Amino acid sequence: MRVPSRRTLLLCAVGLLAALAVRLAMLRSFPGNYDSDSYRIIAAAAQRGEDLYGPAGRYNYSPLWAWILRELERAGSAAGIDLTRMVGLFLTAADLAIAGLVYALCRSRMPADRAVLAGALFFANPVSVLITSFHGQFDNLSFLFLLLALLCFRKESSPGLLTAAALALSLAIKHVTWFFPLLFTARRRPRLPLALAAATYVLFLASFLPYWRSWREILDRVFGYRGELGHYGLEGLLLVFPGMPMALLTVFLVLAVGVAIARLARVEIAKACLLLVLVQMIFLPGFARQYCVWPIALGSLFPSPGYLIYTLIAAGFVLNASLGIESAPAWLPGWYGPWWAAIVWLLLEVRKLGGSALPALVPSPRTASA
């Protein structure tokens, strides 16, 4: 098996070090935000064994992230590093691991030089840099384990426990990958057995059992969370039809994702995951700036014009949202920027795959007339 050339390795090493320097500089000067304040509250609550979903009232995720925060708080106290910086360092390490997984997944379908460049491309992506180091958001962790599931799915002779375990961890970290076990099991062959796909959901739900007395708060804050204020995508329908129930937008999401999963059954699994996350972003009933990072790791597996367009617009939106309304330049993209960029990216990918690898999504004229 060929290895990357020295020139490529040197170029990527310089790029990775430069990106790491930018990330660490951002992290060092990061003053903290609402979420980092919440992390301190939740880490303390987890350390005292308190109910995560009770009086604090600002925790929207599964218990696993709170337990990670607790351990980071303990490690930071021993090392003399505050929790905000510990979270940033931990998430930066996760992004380095993602870059390694991108490289590993690319090795089987592209030359070694291009594979190592793909990994570096993710780590230097401005959306990834801003979300991890400027905002301290942990969505990247969920996608780290999704990429690990893809690697296990490819390596296992019959996809099974390792793939399911990685998917379960992806869900348990943050359930932004809620629909992906269904994608792994809806395929022809190879496919994840339905029982193992169901087990990923059972394990996720079981993690809430220590806090079952707060089930109403869990339903409201975890499963009912809809992101930040600001109309995004199909939320614009609420402006046209003020009486429309918000739940209807969730129905649209579920229907769109269900159709996509059924149509993606014959698409290569990594590409199918990219298309599914784009569909999910287009039909989301709510949005927050950290969601912009969702397709970045998967997109790094398939560098394309759509990936570049999305990166530029999403990075502009995140930067715009970071600066605040008063100081933000008017020419930077607003709430609808990432939505339109995701649509363009999806259409470009569908067009590229439609002629051969994606017959179920883009039927031929003969199929359509049958």
Q: Which among 330, 252, 320, 326 has a CA at the least distance from the CA of 289?
A: 320
**Res 357: pLDDT:** 44
pLDDT, tens digit, 9 for 90 and up, residues 320-335: 877 765 566 777 888 8
Q: Which among 298, 315, 283, 299 has a CA at the least distance from the CA of 135?
A: 315
Residue 194 reports pLDDT greater than 50: yes
8-state DSSP, 288: -
Q: Strand, helix or coil at 95?
A: helix
Residue 3 reports pLDDT greater than 80: no
Helix axes 305-323, 336-353, angle to 10 degrees: 170
**Res 60: pLDDT:** 87
Comparing 183 with 11, the larger pLDDT belongs to: 183
Q: What is the mean pLDDT of the chain?
A: 87
pLDDT, tens digit, 9 for 90 and up, residues 207-246: 999 988 888 888 888 887 777 656 678 887 877 888 888 8
Read off the tokens for 302.
């398939």
Contact 272, 264 (CB under 8 A): yes
Contact 246, 226 (CB under 8 A): yes
Q: Which among 231, 281, 239, 290 has a CA at the least distance from the CA of 256?
A: 281
Q: Where are the domains of the chain?
A: 6-214+235-359
Q: Strand, helix or coil at 228?
A: strand
Contact 292, 338 (CB under 8 A): yes
Q: For the chain, what is the total number of helices (H) and then of strands (E)? A: 18, 0
**Res 363: pLDDT:** 36
Q: Strand, helix or coil at 345?
A: helix
8-state DSSP, 223: I
Q: Which among 63, 299, 300, 292 has a CA at the least distance from the CA of 174?
A: 63
